[in-house]
């Protein structure tokens, strides 16, 4: 799988190979903070007292959370693959160690254009402050922003993305800046639908989004308390909606404060992509779960748009020996067609003994739709099928076998060693073994980036079609 974290070598290679976008609108330079800054408060769900310290971090470091109360300390990347519970908060975790409620802190970094910070916590949850992002914005002000000598690689999806989870819906459209359009509607008396569309820049984030506080419905409280949540919840850090009245220590900060808070949560949750994003997100009734699903979909699109980084380039033989076949010529030999033609190209063929095929595995493969949504991997049996198709080419290309089809007779010593994911280039190496004229025996190995991902010995017979 393509590693799309912020490892400098990866990012630099990618940037050199093919910048994801040239973005004339968004900030072009990475940024960190000028000096260390701390804030102490209560975790809204766990109720514990916690101190959060931000430290300046070098280029390409990204945002990282460190649990300094653990010995040894544990560092967790706020990336979608590390996301756990999203029912009421966004939790990230690593080997059983977690940090809860990361979303408002992450949103502040997105909204302020800050790329690189080490966030240290002496507990398992961020301090909630007043339930908005204002305390964190205050930290940004105190710390100061430090531009860095390094290009900011921005991800700009080129296609529309669509995600639905329960009653939540999100559509992402190409755009050269980050914009969020959000609608909420709960069908509760006294609470009208709210809609707001905002281009996210430091100014709009500061004045329009950051002050909006967390809110909860009175009727949900008992359920949350029963689950051991909101132990630190109070009217100091959340707005409570009870029937048609609003309970809070201060009046609403905006008439439509709730939709603004939802935009804040969206910004925090899409930060889990790990890349600055230029796109227009249109979302209806978002929650942390649908936001996480949206971020996963963005991640898949990101992987699709990334060029294959040089370090995972497979070892396609340099000297193409004897013959190479493209898809059109392949289809003259093999009867298989989309979506069951599992070879794009033959890159090497040596006599009747050895043949090497290539298959670019993209997210558009039909099997990824169900295998598995959110965690696409290529079915192992299709790799065995690919081995048989590549082997079949050797036998079917002779004029005496023209027009025949190959039937599987057996597959032995099948081993699947590593998952094959969208973006991988599958190299299928097949050695033919002796067989009778109408029976083929072949040993095949599938590789990605030089590593064996699967292997099998297949036997098939040639039948008149
Ligand atoms: Zn929130």
Ligand 1 midpoint to CA 343 (Å): 47
Which helix or strand (DSSP H or E) is residue 449 part of?
none
Q: What does the alpha-carbon distance between residue 47 and residue 249 come to, in Å, rounded to a whole number?
A: 19
Domain stops at, among 156, 172, 207? 156
Rg of the chain over CA atoms, in angstroms?
A: 27
Q: What is the pLDDT of residue 98?
A: 93
Q: What is the pTM of this model?
A: 0.65
Q: Which residues are catalytic?
A: 288, 371
Residues with Cβ within 8 Å of 187's Cβ and at least 6 positions away in sequence, in order, are none
Q: How far, in Å, CA of 203 to CA of 205, rounded?
A: 5
In a domain, 140, yes or no: yes
Q: Rounded distance, CA 299 to CA 296, Å?
A: 5
Q: What is the pLDDT of residue 436?
A: 65
Enclosing H/E stretch for 17: helix 8-17
Domain that holds residue 150: 3-156
Give the pLDDT confidence score for residue 324 in this predicted structure: 62
Ligand 1 center–CA 101 separation, angstroms? 8
Structure tokens that stand for 379 in this block: 């079915």
Residue 321 lies in a domain: no
Position 228 in a domain: no
What does the alpha-carbon distance between residue 188 and residue 45 come to, in Å, rounded to a whole number? 25
68 within 8 A of 122, measured Cβ to Cβ: yes
Q: Is residue 292 part of a domain?
A: no
Query: Among 156, 177, 210, which residue terminates a domain?
Result: 156
211 within a domain of the structure (yes/no): no
Last residue of a domain, one of 115, 131, 156: 156
Q: What's the CATH code of the domain at 22?
A: 3.30.230.20
Per-residue pLDDT of the chain (465 residues; tens, 9 = 90+): 444 444 444 444 444 444 454 455 677 899 999 999 999 999 988 888 999 999 999 999 999 999 999 999 999 999 999 998 887 789 999 888 999 999 999 999 999 999 999 999 999 999 999 999 999 999 999 999 999 998 898 999 999 999 999 999 999 999 999 999 999 998 887 788 999 999 999 999 999 999 999 998 888 888 877 877 777 878 888 898 888 888 888 999 999 999 999 999 999 999 999 999 999 999 999 999 999 999 999 999 998 887 654 443 344 444 444 456 776 677 777 777 778 888 888 888 887 788 888 888 888 788 887 888 778 889 998 999 899 888 888 777 777 777 788 788 888 999 999 889 888 889 999 998 866 677 888 899 999 988 899 999 988 888 887
Handedness of CA 291, 136, 258, 194 (dihedral sign): negative
**DSSP calls for 272-331:** GGSS-B-EEEEEES--HHHHHHHHHHHHHHHHHHSPPPGGG-----SS--S--B-HHHHH
b/e map 67-86, b = 16+ CB within 10 Å: beeeeeebebbbbbebbebb
Separation of CA 57 and ligand 1 centre (Å)? 26
Residue 12, pLDDT score: 45
Residue 133 falls inside a structural domain: yes
Q: How many domains does the chain have?
A: 2
Distance 102 CA to ligand 1 centre (A): 9
Please answer whether residues 234 and 250 qualify as being in contact, where contact means their C-beta atoms are separated by less than 8 angstroms.
Answer: no
| Number of H-type helices and E-type strands within the chain | 9, 23
Query: Residue 242: inside a domain, yes or no?
Result: no
pLDDT at 308: 53
Could you tell me the CATH number of the domain that includes residue 346?
3.10.129.10
**Centroid of ligand 1 to alpha carbon of 100 (angstroms):** 12
128 Cα: distance to centroid of ligand 1 (angstroms)? 10
291 is a domain residue: no
């Amino acid at each position: 799988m393509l590693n799309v974290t912020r490892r400098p070598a990866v990012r630099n290679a990618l940037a050199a190979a093919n910048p994801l976008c040239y973005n004339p609108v968004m900030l072009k330079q990475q940024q960190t903070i000028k000096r260390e800054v701390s804030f102490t408060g209560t975790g809204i769900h766990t109720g514990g007292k916690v101190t959060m310290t931000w430290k300046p971090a070098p280029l390409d470091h990204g945002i990282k959370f460190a649990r300094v109360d653990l010995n040894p300390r544990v560092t967790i990347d706020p990336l979608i693959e590390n996301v756990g519970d999203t029912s009421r908060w966004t939790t990230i975790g690593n080997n059983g160690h977690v940090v809860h409620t990361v979303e408002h802190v992450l949103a502040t970094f997105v909204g302020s254009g800050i790329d690189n910070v080490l966030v240290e916590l002496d507990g398992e949850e961020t301090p909630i402050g007043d339930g908005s992002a204002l305390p964190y914005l205050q930290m940004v002000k105190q710390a100061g922003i430090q531009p860095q000598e390094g290009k900011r690689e921005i991800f700009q999806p080129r296609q529309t993305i669509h995600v639905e989870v329960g009653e939540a819906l999100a559509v992402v459209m190409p755009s050269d800046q980050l914009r969020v359009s959000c609608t909420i509607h709960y069908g509760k008396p006294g609470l009208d639908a709210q809609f707001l569309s905002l281009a996210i820049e430091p100014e709009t984030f500061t004045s329009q989004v950051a002050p909006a506080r967390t809110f909860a419905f009175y009727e949900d409280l008992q359920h949350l308390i029963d689950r051991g949540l909101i132990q630190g919840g109070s009217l100091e850090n959340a707005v409570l909606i009870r029937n048609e009245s609003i309970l809070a220590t201060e009046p609403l900060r905006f008439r439509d404060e709730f939709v603004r808070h939802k935009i804040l949560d969206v910004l925090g949750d899409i930060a889990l992509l790990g890349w600055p994003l230029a796109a227009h997100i249109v979302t209806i009734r978002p929650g942390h779960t649908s936001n996480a699903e949206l971020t996963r979909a963005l991640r898949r699109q990101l992987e699709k748009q990334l060029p294959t980084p040089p370090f995972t380039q497979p070892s396609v033989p340099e000297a193409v020996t004897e013959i190479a076949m493209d898809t059109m010529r392949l289809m003259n030999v093999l009867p298989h067609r989309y979506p069951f033609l599992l070879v794009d190209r033959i890159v090497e063929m040596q006599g009747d003994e050895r043949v090497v095929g290539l298959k670019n595995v993209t997210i558009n493969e039909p099997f990824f739709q169900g295998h598995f949504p959110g965690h696409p991997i290529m079915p192992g049996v299709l790799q065995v099928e690919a081995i048989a198709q590549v082997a079949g080419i050797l036998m079917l290309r002779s004029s005496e076998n023209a027009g025949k089809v190959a039937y599987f007779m057996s597959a032995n010593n099948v081993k699947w060693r590593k998952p094959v994911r969208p973006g991988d280039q599958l190299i299928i190496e097949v050695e033919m073994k002796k067989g009778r004229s109408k029976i083929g025996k072949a040993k095949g190995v599938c590789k990605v980036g030089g590593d064996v991902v699967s292997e099998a010995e297949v036997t098939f017979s040639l039948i008149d079609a």
